[in-house]
Amino acid sequence: MANKKKRDEGRRINNERDQRGKLTYDELMERYGEASRFTAGTCFGVGSGILGKAARDEVIRRSQEREQEDEAKKIRKKKYWCDLKAEVLNIKYEMLTNENFSWTVNRLKQMIKW
């Protein structure tokens, strides 16, 4: 029931936009920005989409966001492996220098991950 109300509300808003005529660049950017995915339905769904600057700019913006997310993932992964390497080296150093070295669950887990 709630989905039907949302759908009807969205249709009503889009119909009001379309009745005014051609959408402006800002209105198109707003419509594209609200969409979770930029598809042909988003651009041409109500028959008033224009394949122009707004669509190009939205595609560029989304691809730049995706590249930034990928870069952040790479940085997090690299940091994780660097930290793990430091922990493993610390454990190995303790093994060599400490005569009473004993394995703990945490140490074993770190070595298994490595």
Q: How do the domains of the chain map onto residue ranges?
A: 1-51, 69-114
- DSSP secondary-structure letter at 38? -
* pLDDT of 45: 67
The CA distance from 51 to 110, in Å, is 53
* pLDDT of 100: 85
* pLDDT of 50: 62
pLDDT digits (tens, 9 = 90+) for 16-70: 666 666 667 777 777 777 787 777 767 776 565 567 777 778 888 888 999 999 9
Task: Specify the pTM.
Answer: 0.51
- Whether the pLDDT of residue 13 is over 70: the answer is yes
